[in-house]
Structure 1
Amino acid sequence: MLCGLEADAAEVTPAHQYPTGRALHPDRRRALLDWARSSGGLVIENDYDAEYRYDRKPVGALQGAGPDQVAYLGTTSKTLGAALRIGWMVLPPRLIAPVADARAHSDHHTEHLGQLALADLITRHGYDRHIRVSRQRYRRRRDRLRHRLAGFPIELTGVAAGLHALALLPPDGPSERDIRAAAQARGLALGYLSERGELPAARQGVIIGYGRPSEHAYSAALDALVSAFDACFA
């Protein structure tokens, strides 16, 4: 039984959950692996932005503690670009053959040049250098966001890693609807906690992605965000 329900598999983001930004607690990591071992279930570990950590040590992959129970999945979508459509899987031994067979029957024209280029980039350590430079850039963006929002009565969470922050709104303050209207009037597209149906609706919050704007547009985007918050918290 997992979370009170029968299940054959569970997908998790233990390093950095979206949108809260939390890492899976060690006790819950152990409980998840215990469930998989006792039930024969599969844990699907989606490590979608593990490369971008700023204020804490890297969180070890769950797969390392349970290689026979965990399928580890990752992509280059947040490091090199989603258009490359390159991803990988580290599978339990029992799943390698069936997954390879399913892949062969679903796509006979897998792109090879991008994979070879990525392998060469990794071998020559260019990928690591690119990640370090990108991490510094996104950390600066994160720091600017924190500084600009510091004067508002919000709780900014999930900022130790990743490419987004969650601004939890005070119970007696503006609502998500207020923030949405002000943001849309300024050409901003934000996410909202109430849209995440799998989370409890006890709090309202705004999901702010700071990785997408181009370098030349980031300052203007921050100005628009602060203007929207000013209008709502005035």
Structure 2
Amino acid sequence: MFIYTIATIVALVFVLLVSMFKILREYERAVVFLLGRFYEVKGPGLIIIVPIIQQMVRVDLRTIVLDVPTQDLITRDNVSVKVNAVVYFRVVEPKMAINNVENYLEATSQLSQTTLRSVLGQHELDELLSAREELNRDLQGILDQHTDNWGIKIANVEIKHVDLDDSMVRALAKQAEAERSRRAKVIHATGELEASAKLRQAAEVLNKAPNAIQLRYMQTLTEVANDRTTTIVFPMPIDMVAKFTEVMKASNKEE
């Protein structure tokens, strides 16, 4: 019995000695408590934890990817949409992450959901679809402010999807089509205005040089002659008719 007792004691001491040594990876920290009170943060590498009187909680310092579930919300212009997002955060103060909140992962998830609904509900649908980068920055700033007391740093927030019902999709398609039609009409009207201005300038130049009008007329006749047409009607300029009349009058006087 004595031998068995000694062996048992030796085994217990060996187990206690082994349990004293803990190995933490580079991205891990140990929040150590001494008799229930916070003692210090240890790690990484090899650390010693005194059994029974000391306890430790491992904390991962790597960036955590948190998928925010789809949230139903109503925008400021009374459009019902479904939005989901992803949040990237990491623990920067292990002591605060363990002592100030019961479960920092769950707390961050719940805070992200409520913040997503409250912030995006203050904007119109067009802003949700076109100003995502600005909304991402707003969400990040608000979440980072609220999680600062938990020792958590929000690295980034990204809105992934904004889902609409079929009726709203059709309405947006009609709106986009109307917008494209408006732009086409504006571009066409602008082109007509610029063309009329150029034609007016050309008319002023031709009026200053009458011979240029005749050259332009001859060029037009040449272009028409090159076309494969059976009948060509040439308009007679008024100046040519007037000159022909003067010639006829002069010949009649000589007779």
Task: Please say whether Structure 1 and Structure 2 have the same fold, judged by a TM-score greater than 0.5.
Answer: no
Task: Report the TM-score range of the alignment, normalised by the length of the smaller protein.
Answer: under 0.3
The TM-score, its normalising length taken from structure 2, stands at 0.17
Answer 1 or 2: which has greater strand percent: 2
The TM-score, its normalising length taken from structure 1, stands at 0.18
Answer 1 or 2: which has greater helix percent: 2
